[in-house]
Structure 1
Amino acid sequence: MKKVLFVCSRNRLRSPTAEQIFSERRDLEVASAGTNHDADVPLTSDLVAWADLIFVMEREQRAKLQRRFGKYLKSARVICLDIPDNYAFMDPALVHLLEAKVGRFLP
């Protein structure tokens, strides 16, 4: 089972939406977190070490991830989705964008 982590800044809109969408797949174990200290679920070294595949929403989050948790990345692949913070939780446009962009990287 592939372990997938979705990361945005505050873990309130984009990454929780992605977690909810992809948690329905039986071949994936999913989680989400945020890079900011005030995130609902803050990113930790344990989460980073757990993941096989990490999707970040913006380049800034990839930079924070690599700077703060680089030694825990191991062989995890980090993919930037380039999805700006312009969507509400479970916004149909966000759901469609996530399915299209993430789907390319999942079997």
Structure 2
Amino acid sequence: MKNVLFICTGNTCRSPMAEALLKHKSNFEVKSAGIFASNGSPASQGTIDALQTANIKVEHQSQPVSEQLLDWADLILTMTMQHKQTVTMQYPQVHDKTYTLKEYTLLDGQSTWEQLKKAYVRLEEKRALVVAEKDQNQSEQQLRAFLREDQDEIDRLEAELPNFDISDPYGGDAATYQQTLEEMDKYVDLLIETLDNTDN
């Protein structure tokens, strides 16, 4: 049995939608959180209405990403590459179990992503080394020049990746939320399939 954590920005649109869908369709333990979420906000009205069209009721209270939640999760699925980058930069220990939802369910781009993860780690290690070795007089410009090669490699790999983002419906009309729900529904089905296969 896998504990799945969905992460988006404010934990009121995409991640609660993904959480509600996965709970509705499977017996997995599911939670959601947001990188910039406050505690206790309900799901957005657009999310509630879209889920209602699929006969799914949502009782949701937003929560921020925390170390405790990340430890609880066997699998962390973000809505965008940016979310993923933010989480793995802040909590490097969760690198190996963090993916975007699309990336985890679509295997193409996997090897590029592995290379990219290594490039991120190299960049961070180098940056930490420079800061530790040299006093703080090192200018931002010198630091950038020193890390240029690693940054170029990251940019190149990112350009090769398929688009793994699920766009934010926040502020959109009912049709926008419906579109997000349909996209999410497709990837949640693929996720269940993938998780069932890895459990067997």
Q: Which has the larger radius of gyration?
A: 2
Consecutive aligned runs of 4 or more in structure 1 exceeding 4 Å deviation: none
Structure 2 residue 159 is the aligned partner of structure 1 residue 76: no
Q: Secondary structure at the match of 2:76?
A: strand
**In 1, Cα distance between the equivalents of 2:95 and 2:2?**
15
* Structure 1 residues without counterparts, runs of 5 or longer: none
Identify the residue that residue 20 of structure 1 maps to in structure 2: 20
Could you say if the C-alpha distance between residues 62 and 75 of structure 1 is closer, same or farther in structure 2, counting changes exceeding 3 Å?
Answer: closer
Question: Which structure has the highest helix share of the two?
Answer: 2
**In 1, Cα distance between the equivalents of 2:100 and 2:169?**
19
Structure scoring higher RCO (CA < 8 A, sep ≥ 6) equals 1
**In 1, Cα distance between the equivalents of 2:181 and 2:37?**
26
Structure 2 residue 181 is the aligned partner of structure 1 residue 95: yes
Instruction: Say if 2:26 and 2:192, in contact at 8 Å, map to a contact too.
Output: no
Query: What are the superposed Cα offsets for residues 45-75 of structure 1, whole Å, 9 maximum, x if unpaired?
Result: 111111122211111100111011222x275
**In 2, Cα distance between the equivalents of 1:25 and 1:2?**
14
Could you say if the C-alpha distance between residues 94 and 37 of structure 1 is closer, same or farther in structure 2, counting changes exceeding 3 Å?
Answer: closer
TM-score, normalised by the number of residues in structure 2: 0.47
State the percentage of identical aligned residues. Answer: 29
User: RMSD over aligned Cα, in angstroms?
Assistant: 2.3
Give the aligned residue type for 1:61: H
Instruction: Say if 1:6 and 1:55, in contact at 8 Å, map to a contact too.
Output: yes
How many angstroms does 1:26 deviate by? 4.2
Question: Which structure has the highest strand share of the two?
Answer: 1
**In 1, Cα distance between the equivalents of 2:37 and 2:100?**
22
TM-score, normalised by the number of residues in structure 1: 0.82
